Amino acid sequence: MIKLKSFILSLVISTSFISPLVHASSTETHEKITPKVIFFDVNETLLNLDNVGKSVSKALGGRDELVPFWFTTMLHYSLVSNETGEYHSFAEIGIASLEMIAKQQNIDLTPEQAKTAVLTPFRDLAPHSDVVEGLKRIRALGYKMITLTNSSDAGIAAQLKNSNLAQYFDGSLTVQNLQTFKPDLKVYQWAEKEMKVAPEDAMLIAAHAWDIAGADKVGWKTAYILRPGKALYPLADKPDLTGKDLIEIAKQLEADAK
């Protein structure tokens, strides 16, 4: 009984020391995020790729399970392009990746069919349901808003026009001008120079962990949209803001602007 009382007493004493520390930690002041320029990724971040997925699946004989494999293959070979210095547009890499997977799976697919399956839906994508409200709210805060994508100049122009999102942005930057794909750090550094903004005054909003990791590495603030099926890369630093959609990100920016 004496030992039990001693244990309880020591637990109470230790808890009395720990409690203030826990309280202090929970009431830490949040660093306000107030960038001068906000860069936006577009595909998946703003625009819904469901139609692309359906088109690619149809081209692959209805094999829905191959669609994520196609997208990661496209990303993989964009990085191969970075390393070899042989640039092809993101659309060209997407078409080539689709042809590769069709051959690997013994699915009959002509180059023209692959081109149609990728290009037709990619140029005419609808925004996610949260995007218009989210963009309006961020726009109201007075930030300069720029798209920064792996698409071509013509590709992003068509996408923004067809989705009716062009009105919310002050400009667009694409890797076509640099011929190097994100998340190569040179892309983010080039973008900040183009916009004449210091790294600490730049922010990226994206739904891709690899994109967030690249922007963070050059000193940008980052906001991650946790779209369904997405997850953060555990070995990278956590983003400054996280939300399930753009509206949640906008609300956090509004709170920081007060």
Average pLDDT score over residue span 250-258:
96
How far are the Cα atoms of 88, 139, 256 from residue 246, in angstroms, in the given order?
31, 12, 15
Q: Read off the amino acid at residue 179.
A: Q
Q: CB-hemisphere CA count at 13 Å for 133? A: 9
Give the pLDDT confidence score for residue 6 in this predicted structure.
42
pLDDT value at 27 more than 50: no
Are the CB atoms for 211 and 41 separated by under 8 Å?
A: yes
pLDDT value at 67 more than 70: yes
Domains belonging to the chain, first-starting first, are: 37-48+125-257 (3.40.50.1000), 50-122 (1.10.150.240)
Query: How far is 109 from 57, CA to CA, in rounded Å?
Result: 12
pLDDT tens profile 86-138: 999 999 999 999 999 999 999 999 999 999 999 999 888 999 999 999 999 99
Query: How far is 113 from 148, CA to CA, in rounded Å?
Result: 29
Give the pLDDT confidence score for residue 153 in this predicted structure.
94
Give the pLDDT confidence score for residue 30 in this predicted structure.
65
pLDDT value at 9 more than 60: no
Return the C-alpha torsion angle 159, 164, 167, 173, nearest 10: -10
Please, what is the average pLDDT of the chain?
90
Query: How far is 214 from 219, CA to CA, in rounded Å?
Result: 9
Nearest partner of 141 among 36, 240, 242, judged by Cα: 36
Q: What confidence tier does 65 reach under pLDDT thresholds 50, 70, 90?
A: very high
pLDDT tens profile 232-246: 999 999 999 999 999
pLDDT value at 250 more than 70: yes
Give the pLDDT confidence score for residue 123 in this predicted structure.
83
Give the pLDDT confidence score for residue 29 in this predicted structure.
56
Burial of 152 (0-12, 13-18, 19+ CB in 10 A): middle
pLDDT value at 10 more than 60: no
Nearest partner of 35 among 186, 116, 138, judged by Cα: 138
Average pLDDT score over residue span 142-165:
96
pLDDT value at 13 more than 60: no
pLDDT tens profile 158-204: 999 999 999 999 999 999 999 999 999 999 999 999 999 999 999 99
135-144 burial, b for 16+ CB within 10 Å, e for fewer? bebbbeeebb
Percent of the chain surpassing pLDDT 90: 86
Q: What confidence tier does 1 reach under pLDDT thresholds 50, 70, 90?
A: very low
Average pLDDT score over residue span 19-43:
69
